[in-house]
Amino acid sequence: MRIAVAALVVATLVSAPAVRLQPDRDQIERGTLRLHYVQKPIGYERYEITRDGDALTLSSDFDFTDRGGRVQLAATLRTKNDFTPLAFKATGKSYRFVNVDSEIRVDGSDALVRADGAEARVTLPAQFYTVDGYAPFAAQMLMLRYWKQHGQPRVLRTVPGLPINEVVIEPRGREAIRIGTAVVRLERYAIDGVVWGRETVWLDDQGSLAAAITRAGGLSFEAVREDLEPALVGFVQRATRDRIGDLENLTRQMPLLKSGTYAMVGATIVDGTGRQAIADGVVVVRDGRIADVGSRDTITVPADVPTVAVAGKTIVPGLWDMHTHVTQIEWAPVYLAAGVTTVRDMGNELEFVTALRDAIDSGRALGPRLLLAGLVDGGGPDAFGVVYAATAEEAKQVVATYHDAGFQQIKIYTLVTPPIVAAICAEAHRFGMTVTGHVPNGMTIEQAAAAGMDQIAHLAIRGDAGSDDVAKTIQFLKAHKTVIDPTQSWNELLGHAAGTPISAFQPAVTKIPAPLNRVFSNAGAAGIDAATARTRLERGLRIVKALHDAGVPVVVGTDEGIPGHSVHREIELYVEAGLTPMEALQAATIVPARAMKLDGEAGTLERGKRADMVVLNANPLESIRNIRAVRWTIRAGRVYDAPALWKSVRFLP
């Protein structure tokens, strides 16, 4: 709780220095923020601000426990009285795999910036701030105060960056929230660039942080001042409306190269059925559907249909990502830019993901088609999210809630008990929904499949591909028609030797925005060498190959990873596993379409199907890396320019 004198004292900050009884070091403000992950309260950030002479020192202790794992960050920020930074230091973690170790010392117009073990001298712009990711939120609060006192510049440059990052702050209006009988007046801001994507931050009339909602490329993370906790869901809804509005704006500004009725003429067409590529092909698109597709000598393009010459290009079906968490609007342009036209969301905030789906379905917002799996966990202190089922009755309620909200699937999480897994599956099947998820604790993959889970996330198979046990498991999954999304690119991203640069296996890491780069720059397994990491990855890839050979459907999924680019990496890894480029492409197209019972509608380029397609600059059947060479993405007949999509969310094309 903030102390009572805070309002009084903050007011003096903006005027002349007050006469103090204890001039040497004076606590002038402190606050406690409740931290939440996907709305579940998981910890606190406690901060205090002291003054000595004409400098302020913010110290923050950021501390939460997520699914049994402790995450702590200690940070200090020393500023002048007008909040101009003098020194910043943050050590610890801001998320499970996000290690933070940065220190900035301002020295005149320069700063000595140490981040991730590297040190650099950076020339500072006239206006700047020191902030390293969303934590501590109190540093973002001081950044906002600085920005307000320094003319509200359109762009505020921040360190550490690569070398300097750009943050855009926009006031989004005032609002009042009611807590019991008290009315709290707040100002809302959109902050873009502290993390990848826009955050929503509220300050009260004293300039103190009331709430902040961030994503940082992962699931939603909410900080709410302790006394405002009852307004959590209200903050989430308000932030959701803001962000969907931003995506609608972005959509209006995005050039649409073609829509309606047209024919793409002259490309190589890989229709995804497994048939040979069609050289010099034609695709006729009419009102979002494929009206005709084939070689130029078999297709007659009606005289009134405009044509687009695409000789030299290759057209493939729109890609799918079967394991994602589309937690922020920036994913929508990213996925289209990467050629992904359908995604399955595997756990998210209900308010946000349904609003995003509806905005995309209505055509107000661009983005891939969103299929939703509703996450449910078993409850208790280590549970994930805020949707639990510990009894058969709760299982029914959860399934009904997700069904009513238009979800296609249920995603079971780790702490659901075996009888409740069976109850959820039975109820979901009764509604015509399918069930996917983690193999819950205390169950084997066979037991999970036998309990009714239609699909399994991640590669929950121990042992070696050649062993009898693994062969038996695979036969069991085959018999149960279980679908697997093995998320090998995610394993590679977190499991690579910490000393190996990500660019060694993911060349696109050089194209991602600086804050996202900082998130992943410290990811990786400590204490192992590159050969050990590779051996672990190859064990997984051999199982992927064995599953595929046995006829178990394997579908491409990333669990987010490097946005968009991890889809390409997942496909490449299947080729490394031994699938042909065609088979790997199908794992990202027709196989997931079948798994979601949408193969009559999507997944291949065939007459009558939805015009979801990717126009590539090179043929992925010649080298699977060419799947990265996206030129245009066609989503329900609308043609988007991939470079423009990338740039709209600060990626390099």
- What's the min distance (Å) between Cβ of 553 and Zn ion? 19
Stretch that binds Zn ion, among 175-183, 371-379, 460-468, 559-567 (CB under 5 A): 559-567
Cα 103 to Cα 290: distance, rounded to the nearest angstrom: 55
- What's the min distance (Å) between Cβ of 325 and Zn ion? 6
Q: Of 240 and 436, which CB lies nearer to Zn ion in the complex structure? A: 436
Stretch that binds Zn ion, among 337-345, 381-389, 553-561, 562-570 (CB under 5 A): 553-561
The Cβ-side half-sphere exposure at 108, using a 13 Å CA radius, reads 3
Q: Of 323 and 609, which CB lies nearer to Zn ion in the complex structure? A: 323
Q: Helix, strand, coil proportions of the chain in percent (round to 5)? A: 30, 35, 35
Q: Of 38 and 190, which CB lies nearer to Zn ion in the complex structure? A: 38
- Sole residue written with tokens 């043929």: 619
Question: Under rule CB under 5 A, how many of the chain's residues touch Zn ion?
Answer: 2
Stretch that binds Zn ion, among 70-78, 343-351, 415-423, 439-447 (CB under 5 A): 343-351
Helix 530-550 × helix 468-479 angle, to 10°:
40
Cα 115 to Cα 69: distance, rounded to the nearest angstrom: 24
Binds Zn ion (CB under 5 A): choice among 246, 559, 612, 641: 559
Return left, alpha or beta for 216; rule: phi > 0 is left, psi -120 to 50 is alpha, else beta: left
Binds Zn ion (CB under 5 A): choice among 264, 319, 346, 502: 346
- What 618-621 contacts at long range (C-beta under 8 Å, 24+ apart), as own/partner pairs, is 618/314, 619/268, 619/270, 619/277, 619/314, 620/270, 620/314, 620/316, 620/581, 620/585, 621/270, 621/277, 621/314, 621/581, 621/582, 621/585
H/E/C letters for each residue in 537-571? HHHHHHHHHHHHHHCCCECCCCCCCCCCHHHHHHH
Q: Of 559 and 612, which CB lies nearer to Zn ion in the complex structure? A: 559
Q: Of 66 and 559, which CB lies nearer to Zn ion in the complex structure? A: 559
Stretch that binds Zn ion, among 287-295, 369-377, 468-476, 558-566 (CB under 5 A): 558-566
- What's the min distance (Å) between Cβ of 153 and Zn ion? 38
* 330 is a contact residue toward Zn ion (CB under 5 A): no
Name every residue whose Cβ is closer than 8 Å to that of residue 328 and which is 6 or more positions away in sequence. Answer: 197, 198, 215, 217, 243
Q: Of 346 and 371, which CB lies nearer to Zn ion in the complex structure? A: 346
- What's the min distance (Å) between Cβ of 260 and Zn ion? 37
- What's the min distance (Å) between Cβ of 384 and Zn ion? 10
Stretch that binds Zn ion, among 17-25, 262-270, 556-564, 621-629 (CB under 5 A): 556-564
Q: List, in sequence order, every residue forming a beta bridge with 266; answer none if it has no partner.
A: none
Positive/negative CA dihedral, 168, 639, 267, 340: positive
- What's the min distance (Å) between Cβ of 375 and Zn ion? 9
Q: Of 102 and 324, which CB lies nearer to Zn ion in the complex structure? A: 324
Q: Of 191 and 350, which CB lies nearer to Zn ion in the complex structure? A: 350
CB-based burial, 474-511: b 16+ in 10 Å, e otherwise: bebbeebebbbbbbbbbbbbebbbeebebeebbebbee
Cα 142 to Cα 150: distance, rounded to the nearest angstrom: 12
- What's the min distance (Å) between Cβ of 559 and Zn ion? 4
Stretch that binds Zn ion, among 44-52, 56-64, 171-179, 341-349 (CB under 5 A): 341-349
- What's the min distance (Å) between Cβ of 494 and Zn ion? 12
Q: Of 130 and 436, which CB lies nearer to Zn ion in the complex structure? A: 436
- Site residues (CB under 5 A) for Zn ion? 346, 559
